[in-house]
A and B are shown apart, each in its own frame.
Chain A
Amino acid sequence: GDSVTQMEGPVTLSEEAFLTINCTYTATGYPSLFWYVQYPGEGLQLLLKATKADDKGSNKGFEATYRKETTSFHLEKGSVQVSDSAVYFCALSDAAGGTSYGKLTFGQGTILTVHP
């Protein structure tokens, strides 16, 4: 079945540091890939997405490139801020038809803490 693996956390950085959160996936079809962010006490917010190989999703300074050859979708940001502290989830939506309708498969989440 489908699965998503994220790098172990938590990740602690100083403000303005470079961020990378690794994400690799296994899918039976040709999935769409997403990054979601969750702030304390809230639901998930879509950060960015990519639907085909070599697509780059970007939003709020975050970027991720869909790499089919390495089955990866790593999240990067050049300069993090304290306000980026949250839990980040990598997710996929497979293209395998009926059994995939409305279903996202998530990684385990990576806690990011940014210190001033």
Chain B
Amino acid sequence: KAGVTQTPRYLIKTRGQQVTLSCSPISGHRSVSWYQQTPGQGLQFLFEYFSETQRNKGNFPGRFSGRQFSNSRSEMNVSTLELGDSALYLCASSLDGARGQPQHFGDGTRLSIL
């Protein structure tokens, strides 16, 4: 069974640009969550999608957005990039996002802002 796939693995952007990251969940998983990982803040929850609807959202500015398609694939968009957005962005999938279900993570997209 294929795991969670994130593309691209690496991105370099400049301040003010926007970026879109992609995540394909494990087949049959309908919940997709996104996290930001930085050395200073650790792992922080961005948002979760299920059946094309955002059900949960962390404390990030509106520049961070996402969507989910009917095949459960998800994209995350960051607009007006800032230096502080440099991070590893991780996508995770689970069957339906309920408590107790383990999340399965991709290898992440490393975003560097110049």
Contact = CB atoms under 8 A, between A and B. Distances in A.
B31 interface: yes
Contact of A101 (B4, B92, B98, B107): B98
Contacts of A101: 31, 48, 50, 55-56, 97-98
Nearest to A50: B100
B100 A103 contact: no
B1 interface: no
Interface residues of B, number: 30
A43 B37 CA distance: 10
A96 to B, nearest CB: 9
A32 B104 CA distance: 15
Given A100-B56, A102-B48, A108-B42, A94 B99 contact: yes
A103 B98 CA distance: 9
Contacts of A104: 33, 35, 43, 45, 92, 103
A87 to B, nearest CB: 10
Nearest to B108: A43
B94 A102 contact: yes
A5 to B, nearest CB: 12
Contacts, number: 74
A105 B33 CA distance: 12
B33 A42 contact: no
Interface string A95-116: 1001111111111110000000
Nearest to A108: B42
Contacts of A89: 43
B31 A102 contact: yes
Interface string A44-57: 11100101000000
Given A49-B100, A101-B31, A106-B43, 10 more contacts: A32-B99, A44-B105, A99-B56, A100-B56, A102-B32, A103-B48, A103-B58, A104-B43, A104-B92, A106-B42
